[in-house]
Amino acid sequence: MTRPIYIEGRFTSQRLTGVQRYACEIVRAIDRIAGTASGLPEIVLIQPDEGRSLGLANIEERKIASGTGHKWTQLNFARAARDGVALSLAASGPLLHRRQLVVIHDAAVFRHPEFYSRAYRTAHRLIDRTLARTANIGTVSQFSRSELADVLRLPPERILVAPNSVEHIDVAPDPDIVHKLDLRDRPYFVILGSLTPNKNLAVAVRALRHVNDANVRLVAIGDLDHGVFGRGQAFDDDRLILPGRLEDAEVAGLMRSARALLFPSIYEGFGIPPLEALANGCPVLASTTPAVREVCADAADYFDPHDDAALARLMQSALADDGSWRAERLARGRERLSRYSWESSARLLLDACTRLSAS
């Protein structure tokens, strides 16, 4: 008996951060594979009524009920998927489903509980620990595999690694954004991602203060978590630009002309922005977070995420570059980019679900 594969689609009703980006791109890649492969089980994306369409050609997008919280996953999706295999890509899945694969992106709720509310970390620790006993687990990097194996007490070989990729940023850049933000004749750096406490914007702002050039700008792209401003941090440097969330074409337009991407994160399960930068010809100055070192290897320059002076020195080097430093980093970056593909990760996940379907 071959059972259908049901993809948990609550992520289509959520704002787009790294986890939701991963889920969207993996589903689109599975849809492309389903258009050319034969013998696959039926595949259905189950969504809340308010979920966004992904414009799929070969996978049914089925809406079943309203709901954005865990209740929708545990009740509505679990009921809809009860006769098949559940594939959950966004760090949560139905706790009691008998045949499922769940992608948990990192162990941040265990390693850095201070970044989350008590209710959030309590819920996700319980979910992760339960799924470790009831589900097949996937993740996005070797680092996250080792972290999850440790905190969930699982053998590492039981955790499938299906990494992120960056083909989604292969778009025609929008150069108008450079003019709109008054950056045309200025050197500038970019930060990309939801501006939450773990993204460590504070160290980048402190580093900017060490750069004695009134013309330099720091552009922090992403939704602002006001908790970043609620911890006694002072972000009053008028060289800091906060444009909010931008379209992929605008992000690409900014990266093409930036001196470097700053990625000062304290903790990551993977870290997509450095690869997005390298794909757009933008060098990377990154924290020594293990997952980022795994992804970027020698294509980035590194600093301790708490050392603003070290970051400032790297920024000064980027500002003084005659072109050779940039060219060397981007050549290394092209090799790193060749290691990642949404389609290859989608095939790993789809093959695992297909085996569960036939078991």
pLDDT tens digit at each of 359 positions of the chain: 689 999 999 999 998 889 999 999 999 999 999 999 888 999 999 999 999 999 999 999 999 988 778 999 999 999 999 999 999 999 999 999 989 999 999 999 999 999 888 999 999 999 999 999 999 999 999 999 999 999 999 999 999 999 999 999 889 999 999 999 999 999 999 999 877 788 899 999 999 999 999 999 999 998 865 544 444 445 667 899 999 999 999 999 999 999 999 999 999 999 999 999 999 999 999 999 999 999 999 999 999 999 999 999 999 999 999 999 999 999 999 999 999 999 999 999 999 999 999 88
Q: How far apart are CA 109 and CA 122, in angstroms?
A: 8
Domains and CATH numbers, the chain: 5-166+341-354 (3.40.50.2000), 173-337 (3.40.50.2000)
Per DSSP, the three-state class of 259 is coil
pTM for this predicted structure: 0.93
Q: In 3D, which of 295, 246, 242 has the Cα closest to residue 268?
A: 295
Q: Tell me, what's the pLDDT at 36? A: 92
What does DSSP assign to residue 267?
-
Q: Tell me, what's the pLDDT at 235? A: 62
Q: How far apart are CA 171 and CA 226, in angstroms?
A: 30
Q: How far apart are CA 88 and CA 118, in angstroms?
A: 24
Q: How far is CA 228 from CA 18, 127, 173, 182, 232, in A?
A: 18, 26, 29, 25, 9
Q: How far apart are CA 219 and CA 276, in angstroms?
A: 16
305: Cβ–Cβ under 8 A, 6 or more apart, which residues?
Answer: 200, 203, 264, 265, 266, 287, 288, 289
User: To 5 degrees, how large is the angle CA 157–CA 158–CA 162?
Assistant: 85
Q: Tell me, what's the pLDDT at 226? A: 53
Q: How far apart are CA 359 and CA 356, in angstroms?
A: 5
What does DSSP assign to residue 76?
I
Q: Tell me, what's the pLDDT at 225? A: 58
Q: In 3D, which of 236, 231, 304 has the Cα closest to residue 264?
A: 304
